[in-house]
Structure 1
Amino acid sequence: MIEPSQLSDPAVRAFVTAVNAGDREAFRSALAPGATMSDDGSDRDVTQWTEKEVFSCRGHMSVDAESDGGRALIVDYRNDTWGEMRTAWRFTVTDDGRVGRFETGQA
């Protein structure tokens, strides 16, 4: 497992740290204005999805591997709704160093 503090990309590090802390404010700060996301190939509303899948059900990312300069992760993701599942995450980082898009799905 890779500790969040050891993740290579600073934007991804901030994202994972915020998710694991359940910190909505830090999470919003990690995202660029107008950030987008998809789950299993379907675009979702970032605010609605993260509230349902992360914050209201104690989501947690245990990172197993990273690639693409830290912008692609293999994660054991767990929350109180779905339990634990192996997931893949890909991040697009904007010029200002924040996450502009993330995509997740089963690995």
Structure 2
Amino acid sequence: MTIQPAKLSDPAVRAFVNAVNSHDREGFMALLAPGATMSDDGSDRDLADWIDREIFSSHGHMEVDNESDGGQTLLARYRNDTWGEMRTKWSFTVEGDGRISRFETGQG
């Protein structure tokens, strides 16, 4: 069963999912803390390059099936034009100011 983005517990994670699904690159970047980092399948990646390739130029979309860790860990079906749909896990580090300093994703 899919969790609607509006029902996600963590406001930063909710905004992240909404920015991905609405292809709002500017809004997405505003959610990230300065110097934010990310990893994909356990390897650190260049954040700007990765989000352009895996989210914005390939029409990424997240359908969240489950959340845990106060809403900072998601299990989602993620799809884009490059890879099709896959089950993925997303973990977020949210700072006190509500911005995301790190996210980690991978097949789940």
The answer to whether the superposition gives a TM-score over 0.5 is: yes
Is 1:101 equivalent to 2:90 in the alignment? no
**Root-mean-square deviation over aligned CA pairs:** 0.5
Is 1:3 equivalent to 2:4 in the alignment? yes
Extract structure 1 runs of 4+ deviating beyond 4 A.
none
1:12-55 deviations in whole A, cap 9, x for unaligned?
01111000000001000111111100000000011100000000
Distance in 1 separating the partners of 2:30 and 2:49:
16
Partner of 1:60: 61
Q: What 5-or-longer segments of structure 2 have no aligned partner? A: none
Partner of 1:41: 42
Distance in 2 separating the partners of 1:69 and 1:84:
25
Partner secondary structure for residue 28 of structure 1: helix
Q: TM-score, normalised by structure 2?
A: 0.98
1:87 to partner: Cα distance: 0.3
Partner secondary structure for residue 89 of structure 2: strand
Partner secondary structure for residue 30 of structure 2: helix
Partner of 1:23: 24
1:95 to partner: Cα distance: 1.2
Paired amino acid for 1:102: F
Is 1:82 equivalent to 2:86 in the alignment? no
Distance in 2 separating the partners of 1:4 and 1:45:
26
